């Protein structure tokens, strides 16, 4: 496969993952499928949702390079050595966006959601109850492996499952985006050196 065809394949492959991450980030603004949280986001929304990792990082910062990378695989002004060089830079931007989305979503998974939590002593208040105040994450004591504690989140309904599913989806999509963008950086390097098979396309 020549570098031009490879770039086209990588560009097109990035689109669905960008869309998935954008949709997941938007859905995270509506925990429990209600509008209550967006009316008072600083008190009722999980902080990592407001960092817009899936929307800006995995979405915009990867989507823009994806469009250009696909263009380098088509006949036209971008399908040359210079276009491939620019695609390396933009693929690097895509890696940065995907890594940002990955880190934010991973933090969202580790810290857990903000919810109206019923503590053991009977006190009920909005908090981030599963957040670990430790220097290093201890997975053995993580709420992810203690589903009984999830039921103590009274509102929004099912918020723990909601956050875990959506943040996990963004984490998985981010990892794939990083691999695809790094592949284009390597492909772009070969495109700069060897050309893009322009005459064969």
The answer to whether residues 47 and 103 touch, using CB atoms and an 8 Å cutoff, is no
Q: Which residues of the chain have pLDDT under 50?
A: 135-136, 201
The answer to whether residues 130 and 138 touch, using CB atoms and an 8 Å cutoff, is no
Looking at residue 109, its pLDDT comes to: 94
Looking at residue 25, its pLDDT comes to: 97
pTM recorded for the entire structure: 0.89
Looking at residue 135, its pLDDT comes to: 45
C-alpha 105/C-alpha 119 separation (Å) is 26
Question: Left, alpha or beta for 63 (phi > 0: left; psi -120 to 50: alpha)?
Answer: alpha
The answer to whether residues 180 and 171 touch, using CB atoms and an 8 Å cutoff, is no
Q: Report CA-CA distances (Å) from 174 to 63, 95, 113, 127, 196.
A: 12, 9, 20, 28, 27
C-alpha 87/C-alpha 99 separation (Å) is 18
The answer to whether residues 167 and 58 touch, using CB atoms and an 8 Å cutoff, is no
Looking at residue 115, its pLDDT comes to: 93
Looking at residue 58, its pLDDT comes to: 96
State the average pLDDT for the chain: 88
Looking at residue 159, its pLDDT comes to: 94
Looking at residue 201, its pLDDT comes to: 46
Looking at residue 77, its pLDDT comes to: 65
C-alpha 147/C-alpha 125 separation (Å) is 20
pLDDT tens-place string over residues 126-150: 999 988 655 445 555 688 888 888 9
For the beta sheet containing 124-127, the strands, ordered from the edge strand earlier in sequence to the opposite edge, are 124-127, 115-118, 153-155
């Amino acid at each position: 496969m020549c570098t031009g065809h490879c770039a086209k394949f990588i560009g097109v492959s990035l689109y669905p993952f960008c869309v998935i991450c954008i949709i997941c980030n938007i859905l995270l603004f509506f925990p429990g499928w209600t509008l209550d949280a967006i009316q008072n986001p600083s008190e009722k929304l999980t902080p990592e949702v407001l960092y817009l990792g899936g929307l800006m990082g995995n979405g915009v910062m990867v989507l823009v390079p994806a469009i250009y990378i696909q263009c380098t695989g088509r006949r036209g002004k971008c399908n040359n050595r210079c276009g491939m060089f620019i695609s390396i830079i933009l693929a690097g931007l895509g890696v940065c966006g995907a890594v940002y989305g990955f880190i934010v979503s991973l933090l969202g998974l580790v810290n857990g959601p903000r919810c109206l939590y019923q503590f053991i002593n009977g006190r009920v208040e909005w908090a981030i109850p599963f957040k670990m105040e430790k220097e290093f994450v201890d997975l053995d004591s993580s709420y992810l492996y203690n589903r009984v504690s999830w039921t103590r989140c009274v509102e929004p309904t099912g918020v723990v499952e909601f956050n875990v599913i959506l943040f996990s989806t963004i984490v998985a999509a981010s990892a794939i985006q990083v691999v695809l963008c790094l592949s284009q950086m390597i492909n772009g390097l070969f495109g700069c050196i060897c050309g893009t098979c322009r005459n064969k396309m």
